[in-house]
Chain A
């Protein structure tokens, strides 16, 4: 009897210490991991499990990547690799992409996955105008999606789109037709809040509104089995609380985009801080459809007047790089730095403005007796307001009168993005790690799309179309080098900086050193040491 008690006690101790659940990591025989581990991560608001729903944003995207699978997903370097598709081919005219799907994949309710699910997701939801989703705009090149047998699906395009596989990995989960067909997928509360069904590595076990989402390992996942048993996402609305929760032991992992919070984390012996490059760029923009911003000389002068390095130091604590265009260095295959650059040079800026017809009178720049005045609109989000104040100061130093108006983010979008009612502003774009930028710079996007500065240049359009039609890497590189040169010469936006982002985790958690979303797509590689 005594020995039974002893053995039980020993088992309890082993279980509590996690030793009973140790497993060995493939490829590294000395390392073992806790296969019963629970990790605590964060999201900033209540998620919607259907990522395509119009109000599903960043708070839902990462969680949904774990519950669902896409046609493709991201490798750690940001390239597209197969997820539900094993491989793909493209037709000679580059307008038909065929994706070959995995066989034997099961939805989390046991039903088989087929091409009908992919067709349902893209044809019946994403491209369907009666289920409007803001994420649809990036698929404007896709005109139809149809099945070719149960394990083959064809994406038929209206224009070549060489980055389609990358965009199919861009928070683009495939939905189960059997669970959603016949209902409005966006208002199906049972699916979106209670019982989502995916094919991903984790199953949604419990959602406590306002508080947390608990995911557990999917034992029938088609990919490599995740080593972490449970992932809890706590809903924490502010970064300050996130950081303090990590420091007090309530969290295991956070993704940080604001370097101002780094100091207490970087010197903490219990934490690992990973620095990552991001496909994000911040820019100053002027409305190129109105005077004086139609003038390239004026745009160049305004660019030369901004001290990008000082902004990186002040706003990013030095964690960032001066931007040269919309393709960030993260895209090693496409980033091209041999383009026109505009380092801080107020003298050159003044010279250019003089060439554009301005002269200084009592410290103020004037043209035809009128002072050079810029109305600058700033949005109240991230560090947009302090950044806008810095730009205001740089431009004022030239002798320009800069009136700064601060708007709440929602009003900012309504004024600047929807109505295009602005002269100058400061914002950012985060895009998939793919070079395509048609929707941001094409003439067709100038009034209604993402081309916020209204810039239109047929030469640039032609160069971008070449990139979209190039399938081979070398052809793409050539095309996009030219696009980057043109953008730097013509300045539709004044490119300022690429920020770094940070993954901060406890020492026991081991996650791949890569951008947050890329690392999430490789969740099976994450593990917790005992």
Chain B
């Protein structure tokens, strides 16, 4: 197990490094430049001065090595947009995204897995058909549309819920929970169908396995067969999907965060890309890549605990 962990960590680090090279290259190949330079109110002379100020006149490899050296010393640079250290800005936003993503995943798990199991157990009945229809609707609903409709219904018309922000003392108060309900629900509605469908097919696959038939033939009660034999085995692939969804969500949902003015990583990423905030793009990419690699590693480790057949050498 230890040698597996070390190997995976080394591969993870190499992947991270390759990603930084790729992103740095892409940033430099993309047209445009930092928003301070690329705006209508700058003239040629201020543009030249700003290029010098940001050291953009140095060759790209030189800038990359400088960035890498700085990053290895724990400094991700200063954001062009915020004028603050990149790590500090990410540090402000990451907990906000974690709250939103965590809640959305929790809601998805609470609804998605039981619904998936139900649809699998009641395969071919109206329950299964209704679930499939529901997931199709959920999958084909765009999140920006759903967010806007929810705002119109619950904030504008009914005045039940606030429509923007996180409810901090400065922004009108009201606390986190009421502000969290709508954005988390939208994300959950978009996520849950994936989980329902995946759970359904995973459980169905297990239900058809020989050992389930054997258990049933031995006269084990249906509920025990489902809970003890079927679900535990079906859970393993579901776990990897949840891991994948978590990794995606922690990268921030740009659309939902924008619609609900949620100050998270997704909004930050979009702004960084739009404004060509190079240090921030590098920082955010590094973070998201590290999260994906980290969650994959954790999922693999959990696999070994959940499935005795899985061994890592």
A residues in contact (CB < 8 Å) with B:
40, 45-46, 48, 53-55, 57, 129-130, 132-137, 186-187, 189, 192-193, 206, 208-214, 232, 234-238, 240-241, 244-245, 247-250, 407-411, 413-415, 417-418, 427, 429, 439, 445, 447-450
Contacts and interface: CB of A to CB of B under 8 A. Distances in A.
A11 B3 CA distance: 71
Contact of B259 (A46, A209, A241, A409): A241
Contacts of B259: 238, 240-241
B170 A57 contact: no
B82 interface: yes
6 contacts: A54-B36, A57-B35, A212-B170, A214-B170, A250-B163, A418-B44
A209 B83 contact: no
A136 B78 CA distance: 23
Contacts of B31: 407, 410-411, 414-415
A413 B39 contact: yes
B32 A413 contact: yes
Given A240-B259, A410-B275, A448-B44, A54 B50 contact: yes
B46 A133 contact: yes
A413 B40 contact: yes
Given A55-B81, A210-B93, A210-B267, 4 more contacts: A208-B263, A213-B170, A232-B170, A450-B43
A54 B276 CA distance: 14
B218 to A, nearest CB: 58
B29 to A, nearest CB: 12
Contacts of A134: 36, 39, 41-43, 46, 50
A241 B35 CA distance: 24
Interface extent on B, as a size class?
35 or more
Contacts of A206: 169-170
A76 to B, nearest CB: 25
Contacts of B236: none
A241 B83 contact: no
Which of B46, B78, B170 has its CB near the most chain A CB atoms (within 10 A)? B170
Given A214-B170, A249-B159, A408-B274, A129 B83 contact: no
B260 interface: yes
B114 interface: no
A247 B156 contact: yes
Contacts of A232: 170-172
Which secondary structure dominates where chain A touches chain B?
A: mixed
A304 B80 CA distance: 44
B137 interface: no
Nearest to B174: A250
A137 B164 contact: no
Contacts of A57: 35, 39
B125 interface: no
A250 B172 contact: yes
A187 B171 CA distance: 26
A46 B275 CA distance: 13
A231 B83 CA distance: 24
Given A54-B50, A211-B170, A244 B151 contact: yes
A434 B231 CA distance: 74
A417 B263 CA distance: 32
A409 B164 contact: no
B171 A46 contact: no
A236 B172 contact: no
B40 A417 contact: yes
Contacts of A407: 31
B47 interface: yes
Given A212-B168, A241-B164, A250-B172, A236 B46 contact: no
Interface in B157-189: 159, 162-166, 168-172
Nearest to B89: A209
B49 interface: yes
Given A408-B274, A413-B39, A241 B263 contact: no
Contact of A250 (B32, B162, B166): B162
